[in-house]
Every structure is written in structure tokens, then in C-alpha cells.
Structure 1
Amino acid sequence: MSPTSPSAPDPAALAVLPRLAQLSNAVTRGRLAERAAEAAGLTLDRPATGVLLTLHTAGRALRIGEIADRMQVVGPHVTRQVQALERRGLVRRVGDPQDRRASLIEPTPEGAAAVDRYAGSLIGWFTETIGHWPEQDRADLGRLLGRLADDVTARLTALEETQDPPAR
């Protein structure tokens, strides 16, 4: 079923939409990302923090295009963020062993430490928020959120592949 399909949605699935909106609004209104950045001592805007977090979760150096794909943004946007992060000494370019013409981006030790503090602050906040939940509920949440994120990403990727590819 496409997003514009006229068939009636499953009521249980439909009930999720207002809850997703509630969660998104609460996180935005509560300035959770900004609070985590402040706690980590980061004075970066959200897109720059997103680049650092993307590199952190990748666990390896990435090309600009790979960062853009993972963040689901266009390459020039990432290039500007990487340049700003380079000026601040938080990321550096390294040679791509597969292609001498290309470079990979990796966090510097300072960038890695900053994103570790940021991620730790976010994880700590959510851990405290659901700390009173039974262990099985916490495990189920992690498993189901991972599954939802994977399925949504796969579905959107398939949708993009059937349409004209966006300019990068």
C-alpha cells in the first residue's frame, strides 16, 4: 500500500501515528538534542552533531556520500558540515585505500570524545526515562524500534528506487 492508497488502514497501525507525533513533539519541545549537546560541552548545530554521530555509529571512516546516505541528506550539505568540523579539529580527512583520488572522513580524538559525551548524555536520559520499566519491556522496545527503523528505511529506499533519483 502506498502512502496515498485509498484502502482503509489497520486501526492498530493508525493508532501509532499520534503517538509518534507526540514523541517527536516532546523530544523537540524538550530540546533533548540541545540539552545533550550542552551537557557534552558541544557548541555545534544539530547538522554538525549529526555528522559526528553518524561517523560514531559507523565505527569507521566514511566518504561524504556515505555520510549523506546514512543521514538521508544531500552531499553538499554534508560537505559544508565536514568543512566546519575540520576547522574545529573534530574530524579529519584520510586517504581511501580503495581509491587514491577519494578521501574518507573520520573523527579526531577530540571529535570522538565529544560525540561519546553527547551519545552518553542522550542514552543516559532515555535510560533514566524507562529505567522503571520491566527488563523485558525495555528489550522489546529496543527490538521493535530497530525493526521499525529498518523497515521504514527499506520501504523508503525501495520507493526512491522506483522514482527518479534525487540530485545529490
Structure 2
Amino acid sequence: MKNKVSNNDTEACLSDNVCFALYTAGNALMRAYRPLLDQYELTYPQYLVMQALWLQDRASMTQLSRATRLDMGTLTPIVKRLESKLFLQRLADETDERKKVIALTKAGFALQADALAQKNTLLEKVSMSEQDIESLRTLCLTLTAELNQK
């Protein structure tokens, strides 16, 4: 997918492609997050699961999968790893003991305040306005939704 067609004599380059721009921006974002998350021994996918639980604690695996857009095969080992780090626990659902819910522990809740501070540290590294960041977020979500339509 290209975002523009060059009508002049300049040489085409990879950054002319929207997909390349998104790919490199995603990689840069992951590299920026890595040192912030390393201090908690979290990977970015683990951080996504934690964020989802901060928004909705006591979620089912299906709810977590939808929120994070991680498939069950990817999500299950992440949840197990976070449980071994004592950030969450799997509990029997109060309405159906055969089902499990994922619940934050005290350590998992405590991590939230630190994580928000780290997010602000990351935002300080960019000169984009809040409006530009929100516009970028909206455009990415729109692109994702449209590409995922069946």
C-alpha cells in the first residue's frame, strides 16, 4: 500500500509506503518502551495484558483476547508468565466455577501508577501535539478496522 505517487524525478524509497512507515514507527515505539518495561521485567505484550486488566479487572481469557487482539495461543503463555510474576491470578468465575477469570493482584494494581508515569516519560520524547497523537491513534484504528473487515 502506497500513500503517495511521486510525479517528479526523485527516486522512490521505502518510506513512501504507508506499511513501511507504520512498521518502522511500531519498531521505534517498541524500542522506546523496552527500557521502561525492562525495570518491571515485562515485555510489551505482557504490558498490553496488564493495561487491559487495569481497564477491566476480572476479565475472561476471551475478553482479554478481544481487548488486546492477541490470539489464545499467544495470550495463554503471557497470562501464565504474569501469574508467575505475581501480577495476576486465575480464579474461578463467581457465576460459573468451571470458568476462570483473570484478576489483578495487589502487585498488579500497584504497577499501574508506575506504568502511567512511564508512559508520560515516553510522551516527553516526542514533539507531537496531543491532537496529532490522537489523530494518529484514530487513523491507525480506522486502518486496522478496515483491513480486518471480512
Return the TM-score normalized by structure 1.
Answer: 0.65
1:165 paired residue number: none
Following superposition of structure 1 onto structure 2, how do residues 63-78 of structure 1 map, counting pairs within 5 Å?
Answer: 63-78=60-75
Could you tell me which amino acid in structure 2 is paired with residue 20 of structure 1?
A: L
RMSD (Å) for aligned C-alpha atoms: 2.9
1:14-39 C-alpha deviation (Å, 9 max, x unpaired): 957254344234334xx21211113x
**Partner amino acid for 2:84?**
R
The equivalent residue for 1:48 is 46
**Structure 2: 5+ residue stretches without partners:** 6-14
Runs of 4+ displaced beyond 6 Å: none
Which residue among 128, 131, 145 is the counterpart of 1:140? 131
Cα distance, 1:10–1:146 mapped onto 2, change above 3 Å: closer
CA-CA distance at 1:86 after TM superposition:
1.5
Query: Which structure is higher in RCO with an 8 Å CA cutoff and minimum separation 6?
Result: 1
Map 1:1-168 → 2, pairs under 5 A: 11=4, 17=18, 18-28=20-30, 31-38=31-38, 41-56=39-54, 58-130=55-127, 138-159=129-150
How many Å apart are 1:49 and its aligned residue? Answer: 2.6
Q: Quote the Cα distance in structure 1 between the aligned partners of 2:65 and 2:33.
A: 20
Q: TM-score, normalised by structure 2?
A: 0.72
- Greater mean deviation of Cα atoms: 94-103 or 108-117: 94-103
CA distance in 1, matches of 2:23, 2:81: 32
Q: For 2:89, what is the secondary structure of its paired residue? A: strand
- Aligned length in residues: 140
Q: Which runs of 5+ in 1 are unaligned?
A: 4-8, 160-168
- Deviations along 1:115-148, one digit per CA (max 9) or x if unpaired, are 4323421332213422xx6xxxx23213312321
Identity over aligned residues, as a percent?
A: 18
